[in-house]
Chains A and B, each alone.
Chain A
Amino acid sequence: MKSLGSIRRSFAPWADPASKPYISFESITKKFGDFIAVNDLSLVIYEREFFALLGASGCGKSTLLRMLAGFDEPTAGRIMLDGQDMRGIPPYRRPVNMMFQSYALFPHMTVEANIAFGLKQEGMPKPEIEKRVKEMLELVKLEQFSKRKPHQLSGGQRQRVALARSVAKRPKVLLLDEPLGALDKKLREETQFELMDLQQELGLTFVVVTHDQEEAMTMADRIAIMDKGKVIQVATPAEVYEAPASRFIADFVGTVNMFEGKVMARDGSSTTIDAGNGLSIRTDNGGDAATGNTVWYAVRPEKIRVSSKKPDDQSLNAAEGEVWDVAYLGDMTVYHVKLDDGRIVRTSLINSQRLTDDPLSWNDRAWVSFRPDAGVVLTK
């Protein structure tokens, strides 16, 4: 049996020019009075994708989701679903189902009745409804709670009922609005993988709205990062993390060290950046930046080594400083090193050995170093 990961790795319809988008937002704008929630946004999502809309509160991601579900109409632009224009089609006639952030379970109905609700609306015969409800209960492992009412369930159980209810009709597209927000950390991690398994098993297209970048990175095939009503970047988690399109994204997803500087020279594939105060960075990932331009060099903490001695390898970028802060997190240690010019560099080290060879402590002199391919050059 193939592992989930191997199936996912070969799944990349966005790279295939022959594949047609399943959902497409075409120049969507949404205004509430004078406030522009979504600003001329265009986006395509492919069938069977696990797609995440990531952004801070107020960026417009929930508004976009609601327009797809049919609760709000766009002020301008159109939404296409499986080749059909969704304009004017009310939510109860769209082949889309949504899992609400607050779960929105019907308090006066049992778990069974909640799950059966959508099936009743489409006129399914009773024996079939019973069969499907039983299936759904087994899917989310809540068989013995079928006769309970929502207020008699725990938070995690309610979430699973909401999930079962939203997939009971086997919709082509499932929308999830901050599905894991109300769960505690451990439960959240377990549920993330359950959701991914479910999506693969049922063969659905998932569109998830979240403000938690870890969630997006774990679950999604592709992530669209939104800010102030616009999409800043759409890419796979790896691309977003290792090749962010802008400083905003580099900073938004994970932590990053940012060095502002000027391109001094370009020599074949190698670019040299003067990052001020004598710090010179040589990088292979120069991109299109021309000499003399102001650029930002972004390098992730885990790509930076910290040691008490200056590294011998001359090809490495290196700088000297003092250990300003140490945070021991168990699986890794985070060092904040204050360079001699005052800038603080954040580095993290996986604790692959129980006792480290090179113990560093507060106020020790230290060298930070990283390879030429460790970071990326950003022009915006």
Chain B
Amino acid sequence: MGKWSRFNISSVVLGFAFLYLPIVILIVFSFNESKLVTVWGGFSTKWYVSMFSNRGLMDAAWVTARVGVISATFATILGTMAALALTRYTRFRGRVLFSGMVFAPLVMPEVITGLSLLLLFVAMGLDRGFLTVTLAHITFTMCFVAVVVQSRLITFDRSLEEAAMDLGATPVRTFFAITLPVIAPAIISGWMLAFTLSLDDLVIASFTSGPGATTLPMKIYSQVRLGVTPEINAVCTLLIAVVAVGILIASIANKRREAQRIVDEQAALRN
């Protein structure tokens, strides 16, 4: 494309500064000596220590992690199936309704989703707790997975599948050997998106969760109204650090593999 003008660069830089400012403040004040989130009292890591002995916080974090992993996994499976259904099968009964149901949660206000799911659980006689909040999260995150996987499937080159079948692979084997691996990155991003949304959700969890299954956002919210200590900052900073480290490891592993391949090739050439 054309030149990257000064206006463009500055809008991107300013934009990202705006986006990241609260996060930076968050991280900085997690090391705050004093309890306040706006007055710097000196450097201290004591909140990281006390965070681990805060039972309520740790329990909530554990619940959130479990709900996140389980719901993200099921949401990914269901969302991928929905995406496949929508892109591969252009005519089936009730397709319009199906399509509507898959994409509506993308924009539905969370209070409506939360309320309706709660009323369903009550009508079904289900006690609110771990199961109900997980079911709720699966339902509202699967549509995000569907969108991500669907946009990948639309650009997927069908001739790859034809080539596989031409070489002797049955349709089922073609799906698992060719289609799935090629769209795997989209499925993985779908999982990560579903996990993040579950991790972050307050409203739906408040409606659909119950005693013993308090999620981290619910815990944080209850404390935010009262006044929060930088322990919360410490928890969030840790979360960011885990994610950042994860990405770093993934990209290092990738670079190593590439370097190894080049070395192998050079060796082969010399022989």
Contacts and interface: CB of A to CB of B under 8 A. Distances in A.
In their complex, do chains A and B touch, with some C-beta pair under 8 Å? yes
B182 A108 contact: yes
Nearest to B269: A144
A117 B160 CA distance: 12
A223 B250 CA distance: 54
Contacts of B178: 106
A100 B159 contact: yes
A104 B167 contact: no
Interface stretch (B94-102, B139-147, B260-268): B260-268
Interface in B153-191: 157, 159-160, 162-170, 173, 177-178, 181-182, 184
Interface in A72-104: 90-93, 96-98, 100, 102, 104
Query: Chain A interface: which size bin?
Result: 20 to 34
A71 interface: yes
A102 B160 CA distance: 9
Interface in B231-271: 261, 264-265, 268-269
Given A108-B181, A118-B167, A100 B264 contact: no
Interface residues of B, number: 23
A27 B24 CA distance: 73
A121 B269 contact: no
A48 interface: no
A169 interface: yes
Contacts of B160: 104, 106-107
Contacts of B268: 143-144, 146-147
Interface string A106-122: 11100000000110011
Contact of B157 (A102, A121, A143, A148): A102
Nearest to A107: B182
B162 A117 contact: no
B264 A147 contact: yes
Contacts of A165: 167
A69 interface: yes
A117 B164 CA distance: 8
A90 B169 CA distance: 10
B163 A98 contact: yes
Contacts of B157: 102, 104
Contacts of B181: 108
A121 B265 contact: no
B167 A97 contact: yes
Interface of A: 69-71, 90-93, 96-98, 100, 102, 104, 106-108, 117-118, 121-122, 143-148, 165, 169
21 contacts: A69-B166, A71-B162, A71-B165, A91-B162, A92-B167, A93-B168, A97-B166, A97-B167, A104-B157, A104-B159, A104-B160, A104-B162, A106-B164, A107-B182, A108-B184, A117-B167, A121-B168, A121-B169, A143-B268, A144-B265, A145-B265
